């Protein structure tokens, strides 16, 4: 709904009870519970963004930042694996640092969750840690899964009611994954929902060839979910089945991998599902953020869920019922030969991994990945960082036709080109796209009521684009790819735009008058 001034009202979809609303603040990984990554701030806008200046920078002296900071009550919370910083949001001065060395996979950390004066992070050794947000002191530490089996946690925990929701990551071994809900105060587990069936006869087990194969697992939860408090549903996307590339040994659709899951927030019970990528043999995943918004569809106001999935297709669903509405490609690819009656792409066997290899007109890591998309209710466009290219896929099975490891083959990414892509939410048609370089990177997207789209490219620039047509309004060359997602906030009447590049946080503002 728009006001008379044509500006969307402040976002009210905050899942926490301790922060009132997301307008000046950024209180969750996506800014609010919807996943839109749209800010109602408009002090920085299309007419003045060209005058942005660097206000401060914070050096972590660490690896690439892959998360999104939180900003609550004038304090920024930044994360890297094993590290959390509290930083003054006006000056960039460090307030405290929390360090917890751990074993496990240190590929990245997406961020923290905040609730009632506490911070929560997942760790490389698959623990969930509670920290006092004021002092940086640890409150409690619980094990979510056993790091010795290859589990770790890379996502930012999600706050839903009085619970913390986390999912396990790990793609280096045959292990099953799940979403876990914990009490915010005690760390006691409230519920757990698996992304693959765990027993013969369980729902979805009929889509696997046998129980032994099914128990090899998969379905990692790489990204935080979204939440509709009115429907009391949480929405998460799951990753690929195992063995990752060996389709012949796990014939069937392999539920509930590569699937958008709608779960009851109180119990974790599955309410409905949509499989974005049945029988995934390319590691496409469907973990990309399920973005929630209300808008007309064919003349009727609907509660919608949109996902630009890793397989290169855009999906639009009714988030109350799971009814499929739209399936449309947003990048060029040839791995699918059509769409089935449920709206899911149909894999083309010619492009599945073969013993002597198969060339596929798809980028090696899919049409998109974990870089955050954004939905702008003013332009009514859905934005995603997409990529096109070519890749080569092969099987490596033993003399019995079985996969000896969790992969069962390999792949070579031959070429990839990136684009910032604007999609008509209602039809799935691409309205515009802008080339953003060749190579490999993960720049996410932020949109604002200042008629701005903030992102990065693979040439080392951070960019301010016009969200209507993709024209460049502002750019700064920081010399490295932004492998995180920008965010914005306001303190004492000044709007800050935050971009994280390599291990440095850059805060941009308009010059003082």
Q: Does an H or E element contain 213, and which?
A: helix 211-214
pLDDT, mean of residues 360-373: 94
Could you read off the pLDDT of 283-312 as tens digits, one per residue?
A: 999 999 999 999 999 999 999 999 999 999
Res 173: pLDDT: 82
pLDDT class of 376 with cuts at 50, 70, 90 = very high
The more confidently predicted of residues 513 and 344 is 344
Q: What is the DSSP letter of 355?
A: T
Res 223: pLDDT: 96
φ/ψ of residue 316, rounded to 5 = -120, 125
Dist CA 82 CA 154 (whole Å): 11
Could you read off the pLDDT of 124-147 as tens digits, one per residue?
A: 999 999 999 999 999 999 999 999
Q: Peptide bond preceding 200: is omega within 30 degrees of 0, i.e. cis?
A: no
Res 31: pLDDT: 95
354-358 — which CB contacts under 8 Å span 24+ positions?
Answer: 354/393, 354/394, 354/395, 355/394, 355/395, 355/397, 356/394, 357/392, 357/393, 357/394, 358/392, 358/393, 358/394
Could you read off the pLDDT of 8-67 as tens digits, one per residue?
A: 333 333 333 333 345 899 999 999 999 999 999 999 999 999 999 999 999 999 999 999
Could you read off the pLDDT of 334-343 as tens digits, one per residue?
A: 999 999 999 9
Give the closest residue to 287 by CA, choosing from 430, 154, 431, 186.
Answer: 154
**3-class state of residue 394 by DSSP:** strand
pLDDT above 80 (res 4): no
pLDDT, mean of residues 452-461: 97
User: How many residues are listed for the chain in this entry?
Assistant: 513
| Ordered strands of the 70-72 beta sheet | 70-72, 75-80, 83-88, 94-99
Exposure string (b/e) for 150-177, b if CB count within 10 Å is 16 or more? bbbbbbbbbbbbebbbbbbbbbeebbbb
Dist CA 303 CA 323 (whole Å): 11
pLDDT, mean of residues 176-199: 97
Give the closest residue to 41 by CA, choosing from 403, 509, 482.
Answer: 509
Give the closest residue to 115 by CA, choosing from 14, 197, 215, 213.
Answer: 14
**3-class state of residue 46 by DSSP:** coil
Q: Which residues pair with 391 in a beta bridge?
A: 360, 413
CB 345 within 8 A of CB 336: yes
Q: What is the longest distance spanned by two Cα atoms in the chain? A: 74
Res 445: pLDDT: 98
CB 417 within 8 A of CB 388: yes
φ/ψ of residue 155, rounded to 5 = -85, 165
The more confidently predicted of residues 370 and 404 is 370
Annotated catalytic residue, options 125, 283, 369, 457: 283
Res 23: pLDDT: 82
Q: What is the DSSP letter of 168?
A: -
What are the CA-CA distances from residue 102 to residues 175, 222, 384 (Å)? 20, 19, 33
Dist CA 188 CA 204 (whole Å): 28
Q: What is the DSSP letter of 92?
A: -
Residue 463 CB neighbours (<10 A): 24
Mean pLDDT score of the chain: 93
Give the closest residue to 418 by CA, choosing from 341, 366, 472, 377.
Answer: 366
pLDDT above 80 (res 189): yes
pLDDT above 70 (res 271): yes
Burial class (CB in 10 A: 0-12, 13-18, 19+), 90: middle
CB 216 within 8 A of CB 164: no
Evaluated on CA atoms 14, 462, 442, 453, the torsion sign reads positive
Active site residue 283: yes
CB 79 within 8 A of CB 87: no
DSSP string, 407-464: SSEEEEEEEEEEEEEEEETTT--EEEEEEEEES------EEETTTEEEEE-TTSEEEE
Give the closest residue to 291 by CA, choosing from 145, 201, 425, 157.
Answer: 425
Give the closest residue to 380 by CA, choosing from 295, 309, 473, 302.
Answer: 295
Res 22: pLDDT: 58
Q: H helices then E strands: how many in the chain?
A: 1, 36
pLDDT above 50 (res 6): no
Q: Peptide bond preceding 492: is omega within 30 degrees of 0, i.e. cis?
A: no
Could you read off the pLDDT of 220-241 as tens digits, one per residue?
A: 999 999 999 999 999 999 999 9
């Amino acid at each position: 709904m728009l006001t008379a001034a044509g500006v969307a009202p402040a976002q009210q979809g905050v899942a926490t009870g301790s922060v009132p609303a997301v307008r000046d603040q950024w209180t969750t990984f996506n800014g609010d519970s919807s996943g839109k990554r749209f800010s109602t701030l408009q002090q920085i806008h299309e007419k003045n963004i060209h005058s942005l200046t660097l206000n401060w920078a914070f050096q972590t002296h660490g690896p690439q930042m892959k998360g999104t900071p939180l900003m609550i009550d004038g304090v920024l919370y930044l994360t890297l694996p094993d590290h959390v910083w509290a930083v003054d949001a006006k000056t960039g001065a460090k307030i405290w640092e929390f360090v917890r060395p751990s074993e496990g996979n240190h590929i990245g950390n997406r961020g923290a969750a905040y609730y009632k004066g506490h911070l929560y992070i997942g760790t490389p050794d698959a623990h969930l840690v509670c920290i006092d947000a004021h002092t940086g002191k640890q409150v409690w530490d619980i094990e979510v899964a056993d790091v010795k089996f290859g589990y770790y946690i890379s996502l930012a925990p999600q706050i839903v009611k009085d619970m913390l929701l986390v999912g396990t990551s790990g793609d280096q071994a045959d292990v099953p994954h799940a979403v876990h809900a914990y009490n915010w105060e005690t760390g006691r587990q409230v519920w757990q929902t698996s992304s693959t069936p765990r027993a013969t006869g369980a729902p979805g087990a009929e889509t696997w060839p046998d129980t032994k194969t099914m128990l090899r697992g998969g379905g990692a939860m790489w990204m935080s979910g979204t939440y509709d408090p009115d429907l009391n549903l949480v929405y998460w996307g799951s990753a690929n089945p195992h063995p990752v590339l060996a389709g012949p040994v796990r014939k069937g659709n392999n539920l509930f991998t590569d699937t958008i899951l709608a779960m009851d927030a109180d119990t974790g019970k599955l309410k409905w599902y949509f499989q974005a990528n049945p029988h995934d043999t390319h590691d496409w995943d469907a973990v990309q953020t399920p973005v929630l918004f209300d808008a007309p569809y064919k003349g009727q106001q609907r509660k919608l869920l949109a996902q630009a999935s890793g397989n290169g297709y855009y999906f639009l669903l009714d988030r109350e019922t799971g009814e499929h509405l739209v399936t449309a490609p947003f990048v060029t690819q040839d791995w699918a030969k059509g769409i089935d009656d449920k709206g899911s792409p149909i894999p083309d066997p010619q492009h599945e991994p073969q013993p002597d290899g198969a060339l596929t007109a798809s980028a090696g890591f899919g049409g998109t990945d974990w870089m955050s998309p954004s939905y702008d209710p003013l332009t009514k466009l859905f934005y995603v960082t997409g990529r096109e290219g070519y890749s080569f896929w092969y099987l490596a099975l033993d003399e019995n036709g079985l996969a000896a490891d969790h992969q069962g083959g390999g792949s070579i990414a031959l070429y990839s080109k990136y684009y910032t892509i604007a999609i008509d939410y209602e039809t799935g048609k691409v309205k515009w796209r802008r080339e953003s370089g060749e190579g490999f990177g993960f720049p996410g997207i932020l949109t604002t009521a200042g008629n701005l789209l903030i992102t990065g490219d693979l040439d080392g620039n951070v960019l301010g684009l016009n969200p209507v047509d993709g024209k460049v309004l502002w750019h700064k060359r920081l010399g490295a790819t932004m492998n995180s997602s920008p965010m914005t906030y306001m303190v004492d009447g000044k709007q800050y735009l935050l971009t994280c590049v390599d291990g440095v946080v850059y805060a941009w503002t308009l010059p003082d008058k």
